[in-house]
Structure 1
Amino acid sequence: MDLRETGWNGMDWIDLAQEGDQWRARGIPYALHQAGFGIGLFLLILVALATDYSLVLMIRSGHLSGAFSYQGLMEAAFGKPGFILLSLLQFIYPFIAMVSYNVAVGDTLTKVLMRLAGAGADSLLSHRKVVVALATILITAPLCLYRDIAKLAKVSFLSLVFVIIILIAILLRLGTLHGTIPNTEDSWRFANWGIVPAIGIMAFAFMCHHNTFLLYDSIQDVDQHRWNTVTHASILISLVLSALFGMAGYATFTGNTQGDLLENYCWHDDLMNVSRIIFSITILLTFPIECFVSREVIENSFFSHQTSPEDNWRTFRHVGITIFIVVTTYLISMSTDCLGVVLELNVS
């Protein structure tokens, strides 16, 4: 979730305002079931506070060390081995995230378009490779070609609006489905044994440290105080949205809640199908943020000595790296239709 000079940190990133990508917030109802409803809400607040503190601490450490990149900060603390290890991790995490976005969009949009458009098995809309290719060419690739992440502020705000629309749809279905879905035996337990996996889901939902310095650099007239304000506001918005997603989703399906909340709803439910389309658009709008991170890692690792504005190859290199990342993630995402495997690999 991105609050910029306007107040919004355009980054879905806290996964909830982030990614907000709020797309990871769809797993919060399942996390509440795993940990128990009461303990789950407590853990959600705890994870949000830990994220807030760590983001503030990262920028403060950057000021103290004079290193204003995640890679530079690790190098200042651990030397060259730290730089190399962090570079690998910081590249792999958003890269796999982009693959998972393509897989999720392909699976979701293909099914929804076949339902809403009445497309048959022979239609182009029934082929996920075509659907993802069109989404890549028309939406993600052009946005990824931006050089300044601040240019995505309006896109990120639109993503946040879409998340709120999805939340409204979930609240409406809470009212219409109330009483029709039987509660399970352990529905409203205060605490369950699945605390550890629940923490993992929540931590994944708030994961945004890999793009912290990119966001910091995108804020005008930024200093530590302003960054703290942006961070507190962003985390608070993410926490509220995540809690609402979690409580509304869990209250609807209780112990029957799946890892992906939207999978609980019927595929002939047109309201939720529209929500699935909006969700897919939200993912596509989040994709460029991850691309920015992977591209920065490559540039810092291999071309850090070529940062002069007079560098004749600067634009060519920027476009080339971007196209390489976008095309590679597309090709890998087409090799599997199992989102669970991709997410497990990334979370691990």
Structure 2
Amino acid sequence: MAHQTETDDTKVLLSAQKKSSGVGGGGGRSSVPSACFNFINSIIGSGIIGLPYSMNQAGLPLGMILLLITAFITDYTIILMIKGGNLSGAWSYQSLVQNTFGFTGYLILSALQFLYPFIAMISYNIITGDTLTKGFQRIPGVGPDHILADRHFVILMTTVLFTLPLSLYRDVSKLGKVSLLSTVFTLAILVTVVIRAATLGPKIPAEENAWAFAHWNAFQAMAVMSFAFICHHNSFLIYSSLEEPTLRNWCRVTHVSVGSSAFVSLLFAVAGYATFTGYTQGDIFENYCQSDNLATFSRFCYGISIITTFPLECFVTREVVSNVFFNGVLTSVSHIAVTMVIIAVTTAISLTYDCLGIVLELNGVLSATPLIFIIPSACFLKLSGGRWFQGDNFMPCIILLVGVFVMIIGLIMTVMYPQDCSHGAEMPYCFANFTGSNATQPTNGKQHGNLTQKTGLF
């Protein structure tokens, strides 16, 4: 079949199909700016706090290059997905894969599309509990034994008061203003990280090879970046919520959203890594001292931002369940029931585990990489026809091969060199007797192994 494109003023049938099926965005009432805020909020979630660590894994110069490459591939494949949807008459990521690769492909995609946001919601709850409890402890009279310092209570409280009510919305366009609030808080966090890079960074001695061009852990780094940038599972939801769902409008939404997210992510990653170099943890907020008031403010902002991002991921998991088990149609009762079950399970897991470093890396390799690199490219190649590595098929072929390579090597590296976790530990430089020579000494009975594990290639 010859490659087809949509003209500027031609609306696709996707929005109408989704409305009639009762799933997805369903309202068609999002303006382009509102859709951009939803998309940016979807991208800048829990993954952003791991980006400084990805610079530690890859080496700062190479890490910056890989981050920009990941952003470009994200932008390209999001548009590729919508083009594939137009070619196949698909109204969701799942229907796109089913129309292209049949029921087997549909089941594989459904599992991946459910797994990624499901684990993301668990990480959101854990981060909320960790960041807000540390912030609450800065309030006079709130000590380590206070109920507000109990991560279990904080997770349950935020779930009941905020994430559950927001997740019960049926129309994703209603979250536009909430997403705008989340974006503002993210910018406040970015300012904090930049300020601390200038004020705290010079006081922390850099490790040897801190500014090396590349490290061997670059594939792990790209998995973390994929986890941070993935938003494909939300793409059809946000696309169908547009008032004017044309390809031109979607390209505007995609370029603005991914471009803005890439700028924020790059600045956040570089500033965070430049501050702590070899000390950089998987959660950058674990690096700041508990007595740091500016960091405490930033933790509060990030906790609120995460709370407002949670519902977007719940929308996706609920849609997957709806499509697989309810033929895409949820009644009011089943809508509430499915939402309650999803949130109950994710909350229960997040109350049990407090460190998901290895899980998040595996999620990036096994879920994010196929969803960003492999599946959109494979669908477009099969639907568009023509020879591989020629014309419009050249770039999808390259992205598909890169995705397979990153997935295989990244999985091997993740298993061989798992992410270090110093959850809840005060870093050595937070103590008055820190001189720089005790950089690798444990502060709570645990060795900060990542301080010395990286070796520069150049």
Q: Shared fold by TM > 0.5?
A: yes
Match of 1:165 among 182, 188, 193: 188
Matched, 1:326 2:343: yes
User: Would the alpha carbon gap of residues 189 and 80 (structure 1) be closer, same or farther in structure 2, given more than 3 Å must change?
Assistant: same
Following superposition, the deviation at residue 8 of structure 1 comes to 4.5
Question: Could you tell me which residue of structure 1 aligns to residue 129 of structure 2?
Answer: 106
Cα distance in 2 between the residues matched to 1:188 and 1:341: 25
Provide the identity percentage. 47
Following superposition, the deviation at residue 188 of structure 1 comes to 1.4
Question: Could you tell me which residue of structure 2 aligns to residue 335 of structure 1?
Answer: 352
Q: CA RMSD, aligned part only? A: 1.8
Following superposition, the deviation at residue 111 of structure 1 comes to 2.7
Cα distance in 2 between the residues matched to 1:19 and 1:183: 33
Match of 1:241 among 264, 270, 275: 264
Match of 1:5 among 31, 40, 49: 31
Cα distance in 2 between the residues matched to 1:12 and 1:106: 24
Cα distance in 2 between the residues matched to 1:306 and 1:292: 14
User: Would the alpha carbon gap of residues 6 and 189 (structure 1) be closer, same or farther in structure 2, given more than 3 Å must change?
Assistant: same
The structure with higher relative contact order (CA 8 Å, sep 6+) is: 1
Cα distance in 1 between the residues matched to 2:187 and 2:202: 25
Question: Could you tell me which residue of structure 1 aligns to residue 245 of structure 2?
Answer: 222
Equivalent residues in 2 for 1:294-333 (5 A)? 294-304=317-327, 306=329, 314-333=331-350
Contact 1:35/1:193 (8 A) holds in 2: yes
Question: Could you tell me which residue of structure 2 aligns to residue 92 of structure 1?
Answer: 115
Contact 2:126/2:354 (8 A) holds in 1: yes
Matched, 1:32 2:49: no
* Amino acid in the other structure paired with 2:264: L
User: Would the alpha carbon gap of residues 62 and 24 (structure 1) be closer, same or farther in structure 2, given more than 3 Å must change?
Assistant: same
Range 322-331 or range 120-129, more displaced? 120-129
User: Would the alpha carbon gap of residues 144 and 342 (structure 1) be closer, same or farther in structure 2, given more than 3 Å must change?
Assistant: same
SS of equivalent to 2:230 = coil
User: Would the alpha carbon gap of residues 305 and 124 (structure 1) be closer, same or farther in structure 2, given more than 3 Å must change?
Assistant: closer
Cα distance in 2 between the residues matched to 1:88 and 1:201: 20
SS of equivalent to 2:80 = helix
Question: Could you tell me which residue of structure 1 aligns to residue 212 of structure 2?
Answer: 189
Following superposition, the deviation at residue 126 of structure 1 comes to 2.5
Question: Could you tell me which residue of structure 1 aligns to residue 299 of structure 2?
Answer: 276
Deviations 1:262-310 (A, max 9, x none): 2111011011011111111111111000000011111111222647xxx
Runs of 5+ unmatched residues, structure 2: 1-29, 367-458
Cα distance in 2 between the residues matched to 1:251 and 1:36: 11
Contact 2:36/2:254 (8 A) holds in 1: no
Cα distance in 2 between the residues matched to 1:231 and 1:305: 26
SS of equivalent to 1:119 = coil
Contact 2:60/2:212 (8 A) holds in 1: yes
Following superposition, the deviation at residue 121 of structure 1 comes to 4.4
Range 107-116 or range 236-245, more displaced? 107-116
Following superposition, the deviation at residue 7 of structure 1 comes to 2.0
Matched, 1:262 2:285: yes
* Amino acid in the other structure paired with 1:338: C
Deviations 1:209-241 (A, max 9, x none): 111111111111111121111101111001100
Contact 1:20/1:238 (8 A) holds in 2: yes
Runs of 5+ unmatched residues, structure 1: 308-313
User: Would the alpha carbon gap of residues 22 and 328 (structure 1) be closer, same or farther in structure 2, given more than 3 Å must change?
Assistant: closer
* Amino acid in the other structure paired with 2:97: M
Question: Could you tell me which residue of structure 2 aligns to residue 209 of structure 1?
Answer: 232
Question: Could you tell me which residue of structure 1 aligns to residue 10 of structure 2?
Answer: none
SS of equivalent to 1:120 = coil
User: Would the alpha carbon gap of residues 91 and 150 (structure 1) be closer, same or farther in structure 2, given more than 3 Å must change?
Assistant: same
SS of equivalent to 1:116 = coil
Question: Could you tell me which residue of structure 1 aligns to residue 435 of structure 2?
Answer: none
Cα distance in 2 between the residues matched to 1:197 and 1:280: 26
Following superposition, the deviation at residue 246 of structure 1 comes to 1.3
Question: Could you tell me which residue of structure 1 aligns to residue 155 of structure 2?
Answer: 132
Range 231-240 or range 27-36, more displaced? 27-36
Cα distance in 2 between the residues matched to 1:257 and 1:306: 45
Cα distance in 1 between the residues matched to 2:271 and 2:221: 17
Paired residues, what number?
336
Cα distance in 1 between the residues matched to 2:201 and 2:283: 19
* Amino acid in the other structure paired with 1:239: A
* Amino acid in the other structure paired with 1:322: T
Following superposition, the deviation at residue 143 of structure 1 comes to 0.4
User: Would the alpha carbon gap of residues 51 and 306 (structure 1) be closer, same or farther in structure 2, given more than 3 Å must change?
Assistant: closer
Cα distance in 1 between the residues matched to 2:230 and 2:55: 18
